[in-house]
Amino acid sequence: MLNWSDVIRFVNHGNPEPSKRVVKTDDEWKALLSPETYFITRQKGTEQPHRSEMCTLFEPGKYQCVCCETPLFDSGEKFHSKSGWPSFTQPIAIGHVGHIKDSSHGMIRVEVTCNVCDSHLGHVFPDGPAPSGLRYCINAASLKKTEV
């Protein structure tokens, strides 16, 4: 189970290498994604809080990267954070999610990316529930839910 110390170690020393990489040109991503999804996943945008019904859906399933379909989160790790974005306590696999220092907007945070295609997902914070204490706060537009 990952905890905040693990996240900081990845930020400072690099993320595990993924088993594969998906690389596309900017024009290829634009052709594949809606303008909103492109903005969020490829340009590090953020959707408006409380906009997606995905925040309050807790049915069993897996959440994949909308860009490359890498499995990222399981519904069993999802919780109602009241933040306005879907929130999870753990990724499905350590090597699937990247952790990067983000100094934008006058603050220091940890950006979360798909470690396979570098898609921006959201941010992780150390204020989640026990036992991990992590809150992966993820843009719904960066996820694709699949049934179990």
> Which positions are annotated as active-site residues?
137
Structure tokens, 54: 């995905």
Structure tokens, 9: 């170690």
Task: Give how far Cα 5 sits from Cα of 52, 61, 99, Å.
Answer: 30, 28, 12
With beta carbons less than 8 A apart as the criterion, state whether 96 and 118 touch: no
Strands 135-138, 120-125: pairing kind: antiparallel
- Residue 131 is which amino acid? P
Other Cβ atoms within 10 Å of 110 Cβ, number: 21
Strands 62-65, 71-74: pairing kind: antiparallel
